[in-house]
Amino acid sequence: MGDSELKKYLADVLSVLALTMSAEGERDSLKYRLEGSGGDIGSWGHEYVRNLAGEISQEYAKRQSEEVPIEDLMELVQQIVAFHMKHNAEPEAVDLLMEVEDLDLLIEHVDSTNFRRTCLYLTSSARYLPGPDDMFGPGYCLHDLYKI
C-alpha cells in the first residue's frame, strides 16, 4: 500500500488489534504504532498504553545491544510518560523511564499535583537499583522536584 493517510490509520487500527492478536514477543503493537498516524496515544485506552510501554522496553533493550538508533522510541516514550503522569500512573511512567535509562525526562512532567507520589516511588525503588541510579534519596528527590 502506498504512503497515505489511510495507510497510517490502518496501521493505528492494526496496532490496537495486535494488543490481543499478535504472538507473544512480536512487538506488533509498537511496530504498527510507529508506522501509524501518531495521534493521541491515550485515545485507545490505558491498557493499550501499558502494552506499548512493555513493548518499548523490549525493543529498547534489543536496539541497545545492536546499537540501532532509538529516536523514534523516545518520541513515543515522551507521549506515554505524559499520559501516565496525567492519569495518576506515576509508577508506570517512572518504570518506563528507568527501562529506557532516561529518568531526566521525568522532570518536565512532574508538577505540584504529582511530585509526592513520584518522589515516594523513586525513593522506594532506589534500593533495588544498581549504582549510581541508587542515589535517589529523600533529599535529592524532594529538593529537585519540589521546585516545580
* 1-56 confidence digits (pLDDT tens): 777 889 999 999 999 999 888 888 889 999 999 999 888 998 899 999 999 999 99
Q: Report the predicted TM-score, pTM, of the whole model to 2 decimal places.
A: 0.83
3-class secondary structure per residue, the chain: CCCCHHHHHHHHHHHHHHHHHCCCCCCHHHHHHHHCCCCCHHHHCHHHHHHHHHHHHHHHHHHHHHCCCCHHHHHHHHHHHHHHHHCCCHHHHHHHHHHCCCHHHHHHHCCCCCHHHHHHHHHHHHCCCCCCHHHCCHHHHHHHHHCC
